[in-house]
Amino acid sequence: MPSDFLRVEKLGKAYVPARPVFADVSFTMERGEFVCIIGHSGCGKTTILNVLAGLDTASAGHAFMDGREIVGPSLSRGVVFQSHALMPWLSVRRNIAFAVQSRWPEWKAAQVDEHVERFVALVGLQGAIDKKPSQLSGGMKQRVGIARAFAIQPRMLLLDEPFGALDALTRGTIQDELIGIVRQTQQTVFMITHDVDEAILLADRILLMRNGTDTPAGYQPGSVAATVVNPLPRERTRAGLHHLAGYYPLRNQIVDFLIGRAVAA
């Protein structure tokens, strides 16, 4: 068997058989790698993520993690969506504890609480740990979702535009926190984003996805049209990103793809 941590083989999804949303999507990920996928709405990015999460099934192809086919949800894969999906009647502490207790049902209450507090501290929410979601800002709610996903110590983290609804300042702050946690935990991450700079800041590799389109030769399903290896130093920061040699050519390459090839006729 190949040694890749994640292996996606010829994945496809069709709601109308003759017009698949995407087809023949294949890629791999190494353990500890951060991969972003970027493309216009409707190309199938979220469907791919949902298949990796075990929340959806593909019409064709397979996805394997650690050599085992993904056939349903698992606590070995943590998911953070654009919507925080917190239980409104529970405090921050209890929202995260619920996930932790599901992961380790044999743990005592004190052990669960200590674990929860560690991950709340990682996202800087110690002062809000006993507040309910209605008392939190949008950015704070997303931090809780991130803390909850990391707290179950998944082998892979799946992020579906988790910062898309946040203002630029809050988004930048949480990006910095995410970078710090990923470096500390060596987490494997697959992330959807529409933000080119976010992809360049976070990802080791960037998958560029093309939409399905009608061509003179017939309908062409969406696909991963290109893979870009991020050449910038991995220790890059948001503040220093645009000063790095190679940043602007990389950014222009991705923007040119989104303007042209992503929806090319």
Give this prediction's pTM.
Answer: 0.90
Q: What is the pLDDT of residue 223?
A: 93
Q: What is the pLDDT of residue 1?
A: 40
Strand 189-192 to 156-160 pairing: parallel
In this structure, the number of other CB atoms found within 10 A of the CB of residue 4 comes to: 17
Q: Which residues of the chain have pLDDT under 70?
A: 1-3, 261-265
Q: What is the pLDDT of residue 28?
A: 95
Q: What is the pLDDT of residue 94?
A: 96
**Residue 128 token pair:** 């809000």
Q: What is the pLDDT of residue 139?
A: 85
Burial class (CB in 10 A: 0-12, 13-18, 19+), 197: middle
Q: What is the pLDDT of residue 262?
A: 60
**Residue 130 token pair:** 């006993």
